[in-house]
Amino acid sequence: MQDDEAYALRLYQALRARGEVREDALAAAADLDPARAARGLERLRRLGLVDESSGAVEPVEPDTALVRALGAYRENTLAQAAAAGELQQLTQSLLTVYRPAASFETSQIEVEFVSDRRAKDRRLHELNAAITESCDSLHPGGMPPMEVLARSLREDSELVARGVRCRAIYRLSVLQTPKHAHYLRELSATGVDVRLIEHAPYDLLLLDRQVACMPAAPGTDSPATLLIRGSALMNAQVALYEDTWLRAVPYRQALAESERIDLTAQERVVVRLMSGGLSDDQIARKIGVHRRTVQRTVTRLMTRLDASSRFEAGLKLGRMTTGGDLRGA
């Protein structure tokens, strides 16, 4: 810094002696090498002792440079004071208005972890007894044992009798199994609004839209369950259910379509999934069967539809379903 000050002083003295000098002639005018002249000029610029507006370098009086520096400092100080005031207002709003609101919302979130099936059944029985408005369920996985379905049917009948609106979404391929198809028929007859869908992300139960019951580890055999409350979490689950409901097919329509084209629900699901590019393993996981079952189904369907590829089979089935041409074969 002391060297830079010395180079700057020599340049300043040369400028005052000559009035103005081109920048490329500064080094020679001050008898400095170019590197030292550049360092000295940069120091003069920081001090405000040069004016280069004319294209050449001219000296500025020290008093003028000082006045300009003080003016810039004053403007900077005023700007900092304004920024400090704005920061104070912002901090007050964040701490006194928005932070309490966020804390209140978080305090309304409740997540209960239920680790075993027996505890889950007990908690659901307690929650069912308190339902007053709606019970919405989504069951995209495998069907439980028939005794469980029989108990569920009784509970749903009781809810409907109490005036609770009940909706249920099951996997479309459930229609393929006679005992499960019979269960859906009885469920619909009790007054539960039933729809069917090819696949959905995970099991979900919404009670009065205030409590959600969902698996803690979707896609596994773990019986662990999460019971959640609070709008911050519930809104997403309700939106998921409503979207799935809109995409699902009403039970009676799905049943009529299945009978009209004389294909099992599982066959239709397999064709649609394979036309979407899914592998046999992926289809098997989606519909809950063994890979060999999917392979046998695909082979039969391609032969029946006279299709040379899986994608062609999907297209042909789509046209036949729309036009009503596919009958018993």
Residue 87 is assigned to a structural domain of this protein: no
Secondary structure (3-state) at 305? coil
Domain of residue 51: give its range. Answer: 2-60
**pLDDT of res. 323:** 44
- Alpha carbon distance 117, 18 (integer Å): 96
Predicted local confidence at residue 318, as pLDDT: 65
Residues 209 and 177 in one domain: yes
pLDDT of amino acid 191: 96
| Whole-number average pLDDT of the chain | 84
91 located within any domain = no
In a domain, 257, yes or no: no
Largest Cα–Cα separation, the chain = 110
CA–CA dist 250, 238 (Å, integer): 19
Q: Are 29 and 19 in contact (CB under 8 A)?
A: no
Give the number of C-alpha atoms closer than 13 A to the C-alpha of residue 56, restricted to the C-beta side: 10
In this structure, the answer to whether residues 224 and 270 fall within a common structural domain is: no
CATH at residue 161: 3.30.870.10
Q: Which of 23, 38, 60 is where one domain is finished?
A: 60
What average pLDDT does range 124-145 have in this prediction? Answer: 91
Whether 120 and 242 share a structural domain: yes
Highest mean pLDDT, choosing among 74-88, 110-124, 158-172, 304-318:
158-172
Does residue 163 lie within any of the structural domains?
yes
Does residue 82 fall inside a structural domain?
A: no
Beta strands in 40-82 (DSSP E): 50-51, 58-59
- Tell me, yes or no, whether 120 and 243 share the same domain: yes
31 in helix, strand or coil?
coil
User: Is residue 127 domain-shared with residue 230, that is, in the same domain?
Assistant: yes
The reply to whether 101 falls in a domain is no
Statement to judge: residues 268 and 243 lie in one domain: no
Same domain? 181 vs 239: yes
233 and 212 in a single domain? The answer is: yes
Q: What pLDDT is attached to residue 304?
A: 64
Give the list of residues 6+ apart from residue 66 with CB closer than 8 angstroms, or none.
Answer: none
Q: Which of 191, 216, 249 is the last residue of a domain?
A: 249
Q: What is the pLDDT of residues 176-209, one digit of tens each?
A: 787 898 999 999 999 999 999 988 888 999 999 9
Residues 188 and 121 in one domain: yes
Domain closes at, from 249, 270, 298: 249
- Give yes or no for residue 308 having a pLDDT over 80: no
- Kindly tell me if the per-residue pLDDT of 328 is higher than 60: no
What CATH number corresponds to the domain at position 312? 1.10.10.10
Number of neighbouring beta carbons within 10 Å of residue 233: 16
Number of H helices, E strands in the chain: 14, 10
**Is residue 88 one of the residues assigned to a domain?**
no
Judge if 224 and 140 occupy the same domain: yes
Domain identity same for 150 and 47? no
* Structural domain count of the chain: 3
243, 115: one domain:
yes
| 76 found inside a domain | no
The yes-or-no verdict on residue 53 having pLDDT over 60 is yes
